Amino acid sequence: MATVQTNRVHIVEVGPRDGLQNDAAQLSPAVRAELIGRLEAAGISEIEAVSFVHPQRVPQMAGAEEVVAQLGKLKANLTALILNERGFERALASGLRRVRYAFPVTEEFARRNQNQSVNEAIELAHTLIKRARHEKMSIGILLAASFGCPFAGRVAPDEVLRIAAQIAADAPDELVFADTIGVGNPVAVRTLLRGAVALGVPEMRLGGHFHNTRNTGYANAVAAIEAGAAALDSSLGGLGGCPFAPRATGNIATEDLGYLLREMGISTGLNLEALIEVGRWLSDQLGHELPGMLAQAGDF
């Protein structure tokens, strides 16, 4: 087993986007903006704040521009998820300076999710990276379903790394491997991350996005760090899932991940007690309990 080579990991809070997009409740832009402010106050320095998608596709993400307009001057780095060039243009017009372009690595999922082929998605990634460079924006590329697809089944690591190599040729600021439906395992995670490290693009931050659908998310997060990931996505209280992937349940919980990493001697900058309180507030807004476990057991 590998040993962790870092004492610092960047946590990217995706609750305001990935966390809320799969919940039955539809929070107003004002409440979503308040959530982002509360997360920043709890020590979160990177937040995936909104998704610029059509509200008919994901009604929970409606009013993204309103959310951004109400945020004011936060110190946290705010990112928008985009699925196409129209999303990039909306993010640019909103004033955000960081975007993530996400696409599935399998043909059927790419067609269902974005109505494009994988090759078309790769070409769009090249275009968006160039546009981001021109606009002096930060851009990350997220490879969805990197470990398994709800329609195609298992995904070969060599195929994912083939796509990753084409993306890395343009050196985006970030490359994230996403376990969209929670079927990954630590061996598979190490394979992809080590393969990405071997591409030799030091200016491209490597990250992991793990769902705890089958209770492997935290093991996968540790494996990612061992293999070279500098950043991990997580969602307050373990909320989340993909509306277009059957049975894709929640992300790993930010406070649970923060506890795990702290106990391993890895700094995250998170205030766990404050995050637990934000989770309780969010639970009240949504009208149901959150699945995260640290809030139930308490810190140690």
Residues annotated as catalytic are 242
* CB half-sphere exposure, 229, CA atoms < 13 A: 28
DSSP tag of 44? -
User: Taking a C-beta distance cutoff of 8 angstroms, is the pair 35, 282 a contact?
Assistant: yes
Single out the residue of 18, 87, 88 nearest to residue 48, CA to CA.
Answer: 18
Q: Are the C-beta atoms of residues 247 and 22 closer than 8 Å to each other?
A: no
Q: Are strands 77-82 and 46-51 parallel, antiparallel or unpaired?
A: parallel
CA distance 248 to 182: 7
d(C-alpha 293, C-alpha 276), whole Å: 10
Burial 145-160 (b: 16+ CB within 10 A, else e): bbbbbbbeeebebeeb
**Six-digit token string for 116:** 């494009």
DSSP state of 252: P
* Other residues' Cβ atoms within 10 Å of the Cβ of residue 98: 20
Q: What are the residues whose beta carbons fall under 8 Å from the beta carbon of 45, sequence distance 6 or more?
A: 10, 11, 75, 76, 77, 269
Rounded Cα gap, residues 100 and 82, in angstroms: 6
Place of tokens 């709890």: 42
Can you tell me which residue has the tokens 């307009």?
A: 69
